[in-house]
Structure 1
């Protein structure tokens, strides 16, 4: 019997994950059965169960992959010297996250935010998935904190604010944008980038006496 190549095994696993992601995003985790996944990927039960034992393992694999991709994007950005500004990094990360699945194309761009929001909800009832998400969040937060510290050292960002607070807020902005897309429809990542640039451009208000003296 001919040996199956690793490339073939990886492609088959990718096929299963892509199909499962589409099913979960369309109908939710609880309304999706393994039969739905089998039909979506057009594979036998044996072929699918060779890779995943069931829905829970599929969900965990999808979440782990997304978090890993996002973490890699932040680490790559952090290696640049000087690091790109936050709005650029967030745009790159969001773009990579939404484009994770080449097979999803336009449909994936429209429904993938829904999948992410469903994952958040599922973690409230699934302790194991909650552990996966919390671990991934910690891995994402750590490089963000380091990036903020580099911004502060370079004078690109005020240094009297906790780097941890800034990192959490930037992550929250990305999460909120994902929630908006899930609820109200897909928007270009540039919308988030423009908004971040606008917020970062804010400075202390100029008093009327100062503006007068500057004009004179």
Structure 2
């Protein structure tokens, strides 16, 4: 029997994950069955179960993969001295992640933002998924904390602001942008980049004229 190459195995796993992502984004986790996934990817049950034990394993794999991509993107930024400014860094990482998911669509629209909303909803009832998400976000938050400290050391950011607070805010901005895409339709990442740049340029309250 011919030996199956690792490239073939990886491609088959990618096919299954992308098909499952479409199903979950389209109908949600609870309304999606493994039969729906099998139909979407046009594979037998044996072929799919060779890689994943069921729907829960598929969800966990999709979430872990995205979090790893995001974490590695920010780690790359953290290795620069100093790191790229927040607007550039967030936009760069988000663009890269979205580009890897661009081919996965539902009704002609990117499935990834809709999938993210489904994940957040599922986390509220699925402890295993909540643990994966918490660990992934914790890793990203820790990386962003180091990035902020690098900004402060380089004089790029006020030193009296808590690094963890800035990290949480930058993560919230990216998450909120994805939620907007899911709710209101696609928008270029440059929108987020320009918005962050604008906020970063804001100065303190202007001095009032003595005349009122």
Compute the TM-score of the two structures, normalised by the length of structure 2: 0.94
Contact kept in structure 2, 1:90 and 1:174, CA below 8 Å: yes
Alignment of 1:77-92 (within 5 A): 77-92=77-92
Q: 1:84 to 1:203 in 2, by over 3 A?
A: same
Structure 1 residue ranges without an equivalent (≥5):
211-216
The more displaced of 78-87 and 39-48 is 78-87
The answer to whether structure 1 residue 129 and structure 2 residue 133 are counterparts is no
Query: In the aligned structure 1, how far is the partner of 2:32 from the partner of 2:67?
Result: 23
Query: In the aligned structure 1, how far is the partner of 2:19 from the partner of 2:4?
Result: 22
Query: In the aligned structure 2, how far is the partner of 1:86 from the partner of 1:148?
Result: 9
Question: In the TM superposition, what whole-angstrom CA distance separates every residue of 1:8-46 from its partner, at most 9, and x where no partner exists?
Answer: 111100110011001110111111111111111111110
Equivalent position of 2:200 in the other structure: 200
More helix by share: 1
Contact kept in structure 1, 2:117 and 2:179, CA below 8 Å: yes
Equivalent position of 2:154 in the other structure: 154
Equivalent position of 1:57 in the other structure: 57
Query: In the aligned structure 2, how far is the partner of 1:184 from the partner of 1:81?
Result: 37
Deviation at 1:108, TM superposition (A): 7.6
Compute the TM-score of the two structures, normalised by the length of structure 1: 0.93
Deviation at 1:101, TM superposition (A): 3.0
The answer to whether structure 1 residue 23 and structure 2 residue 41 are counterparts is no
Query: In the aligned structure 1, how far is the partner of 2:124 from the partner of 2:72?
Result: 26
The 3-state SS of whatever aligns with 1:52 is coil
Structure 2 residue ranges without an equivalent (≥5):
none
Question: In the TM superposition, what whole-angstrom CA distance separates every residue of 1:64-106 from its partner, at most 9, and x where no partner exists?
Answer: 0000000000001111222110001110111122122364269
Q: 1:138 to 1:161 in 2, by over 3 A?
A: same
Deviation at 1:204, TM superposition (A): 1.6
Contact kept in structure 1, 2:26 and 2:106, CA below 8 Å: no
Alignment of 1:1-216 (within 5 A): 1-101=1-101, 103-104=103-104, 110-208=110-208
- Superposed structure 1 runs of 4+ greater than 6 Å apart: 105-108
Query: In the aligned structure 1, how far is the partner of 2:153 from the partner of 2:3?
Result: 54
Contact kept in structure 2, 1:98 and 1:109, CA below 8 Å: no
